[in-house]
């Protein structure tokens, strides 16, 4: 098999048949030590992985980019949560949302409103929460104002319809799960991986918006990438489909192309 080398030269590598190659798994070290060949069909990144012998693999450029974005957004979101409160984006004009009395009852109990605030969702009622109860008289709906939303997903919540759908989903999710029983005292963030502990407290509707934002902003199929962009393309898993598709084990020279600078991707906006 002929594989183009940087600069237009040709390098010949021998394919070694391996019926089990598709079952190979790759560690973080495999990815760190991988070597990029280049983009294929504006959809994949061809690379060589040592596992321990060279394996020719294709990286799904969209899935890999999306996965890195998801982790970057969640790391920021969950780290802020552990430190006390998620950064909120204050709306210039509060969004008006009609809640059922039952939904307002939920807001008034079990620390739900405090939970929403810790995740960056600020909800203001025109009457005190203490006055919203199953026995309260009045109409069957109560208007609330959404004054702020989680900064990480603010771009996904730009209309009152989106705000209403998100708020109602958050209330329902918190009521039906144990999210409302989260620790009241902020947890100390002692190392960079502690943020993963907060994922069990993250409401599903918020997680879905994070995934949606990452998908929309990720590199797409048919987006051309130069060699530099290909070098920082991560090889991870996403949405139950592999970002890395191993093709064959290789037998030949051990000399490889330049190493991947994985840290450069974290510096991207």
Digitized pLDDT (tens) for each residue of the chain, 269 residues in all? 333 333 333 233 344 444 544 445 666 677 667 788 888 888 888 888 776 678 888 888 888 888 888 989 999 999 999 888 899 999 999 999 999 988 988 887 767 888 899 999 999 887 665 565 554 444 578 889 999 999 999 999 999 999 999 999 999 998 887 665 555 555 555 555 678 888 888 999 999 999 999 988 877 776 777 766 666 654 443 343 456 656 656 655 544 445 555 555 555 55
Strands (E), the chain: 2-4, 10-12, 14-16, 35-40, 44-50, 54-60, 88-100, 122-125, 141-150, 237-238, 241-242, 244-251
In this structure, the number of other CB atoms found within 10 A of the CB of residue 154 comes to 18
| Beta partners for residue 45, in sequence order | 39, 59
CA-based R_g, the chain, Å? 24
Query: Tell me, what's the pLDDT at 234?
Result: 45
Strand pairing category for 2-4 and 10-12: antiparallel
Model confidence pTM above 0.75:
no
Structure tokens at 30: 């495999």
Q: Where are the domains of the chain?
A: 2-64+221-266, 67-216
What is residue 97's three-state secondary structure?
Answer: strand
Query: Tell me, what's the pLDDT at 57?
Result: 81
- Out of 3.30.1540, 1.10.3470, 3.40.50, 3.40.1130, select the CATH number for domain 2-64+221-266: 3.30.1540
Buried b (16+ CB within 10 A) or exposed e, 207-234: bebbbebbbeebbeeeeebeeebbbbbb
What is residue 128's three-state secondary structure?
Answer: coil
Query: Tell me, what's the pLDDT at 216?
Result: 85
- How far is it, in rounded angstroms, from Cα 48 to Cα 104? 56
Query: How many residues belong to the chain?
Result: 269
With vertex at residue 94, the alpha carbon angle to CA 88 and CA 99, rounded to the nearest 5 degrees, is 100
Please answer whether residues 47 and 37 qualify as being in contact, where contact means their C-beta atoms are separated by less than 8 angstroms. Answer: yes
Please answer whether residues 195 and 75 qualify as being in contact, where contact means their C-beta atoms are separated by less than 8 angstroms. Answer: yes
With vertex at residue 167, the alpha carbon angle to CA 177 and CA 151, rounded to the nearest 5 degrees, is 100
Residues 6+ apart with CB under 8 A from 245: 22, 44, 57, 58, 59, 60
């Amino acid at each position: 098999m002929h594989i183009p080398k940087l600069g237009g030269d040709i390098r010949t590598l021998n394919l070694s048949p391996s019926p089990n190659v598709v079952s190979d798994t790759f560690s973080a070290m495999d990815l760190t030590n991988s070597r990029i060949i280049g983009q294929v069909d504006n959809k994949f990144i061809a690379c060589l992985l040592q596992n321990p012998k060279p394996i020719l693999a294709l990286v799904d450029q969209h899935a890999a980019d999306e996965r890195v974005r998801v982790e970057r957004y969640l790391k920021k979101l969950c780290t802020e949560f552990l430190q006390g409160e998620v950064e909120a984006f204050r709306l210039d004009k509060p969004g008006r949302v009609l809640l059922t009395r039952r939904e307002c009852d939920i807001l008034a109990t079990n620390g739900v409103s405090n939970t929403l605030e810790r995740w960056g969702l600020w909800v203001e009622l025109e009457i005190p929460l203490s006055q919203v109860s199953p026995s309260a008289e009045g109409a069957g709906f109560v208007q609330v104002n959404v004054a702020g939303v989680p900064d990480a997903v603010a771009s996904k919540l730009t209309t009152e319809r989106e705000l209403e759908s998100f708020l109602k989903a958050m209330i329902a999710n918190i009521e039906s799960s144990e999210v409302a029983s989260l620790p009241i005292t902020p947890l100390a963030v002692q190392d960079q991986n502690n943020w993963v502990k907060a994922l069990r407290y993250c409401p599903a509707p918020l997680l879905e918006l994070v995934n949606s934002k990452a998908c929309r902003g990720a590199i797409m199929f048919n987006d051309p990438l130069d060699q530099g962009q290909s070098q920082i393309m991560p090889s991870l898993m996403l949405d139950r489909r592999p970002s890395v598709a191993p093709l064959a084990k290789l037998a030949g020279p051990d000399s490889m192309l330049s190493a991947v600078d994985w840290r450069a991707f974290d510096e991207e906006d």
